[in-house]
Amino acid sequence: MANNGEKKKEEQQPQPVPVKMQVLAQYIRDLSFENIVAQKGVGGEVTPDIQVQVNLDAKKRSIEHQFEVISKFNIASKNKKSGDPLFILELEYGGIFHIENVPEDQLHPFLLIECPRMLFPYVRRIVGDITRDGGFPALNLENIDFLALYRAELQRRSQEEAGNKPVS
């Protein structure tokens, strides 16, 4: 059982302020789908090889506590056997977020990890619908580990900076 001194100490400790995050809007900023098979035709057996590249960008908006986060997906499929391209899909998907109570030093990773994670199910659906409507089996993107993606980008930048330092 705690004595009165310990109770006062517990009461005086500041309680952490919960993070407030709200998705205000989601939108497709740019979308391009090129069905190369339909344009040029591909003969023989097709074994697709799909490459997915993801880039993220975030910026503060003029309204207080609002941020825009853009996820850019470049998806290319080619025939493994011949190397012929099958399709190219480019998608820029954005979200407007209202974010409060995130410490300044944690805001950048929050914007580039948590916000894209919130948008990803919608991106997955769009990619599946576009590829299916384009005449291919619906492409169901695997989950993306945005934390690992963020860490890899930090490591790439630190290596790049280390390589650009002048030699003494």
Taking only the tens of pLDDT, the chain with its 168 residues reads 555 555 555 556 667 778 899 999 999 999 999 998 877 766 667 788 999 999 999 999 999 999 999 999 999 999 888 888 999 999 999 999 999 999 999 999 999 999 999 999 999 999 999 999 998 999 999 999 999 999 999 999 888 888 776 655
DSSP label of 19: P
Residue 83, token pair as written in the block = 């190397």
> Who contacts 146 (Cβ-Cβ below 8 Å, separation ≥6)?
56, 112, 113, 114, 116, 117, 120
d(CA 116, CA 112): 6
What domains appear along the chain, each with residue ranges and CATH number? 30-59+70-95+103-159 (3.10.420.10)
> Who contacts 165 (Cβ-Cβ below 8 Å, separation ≥6)?
none
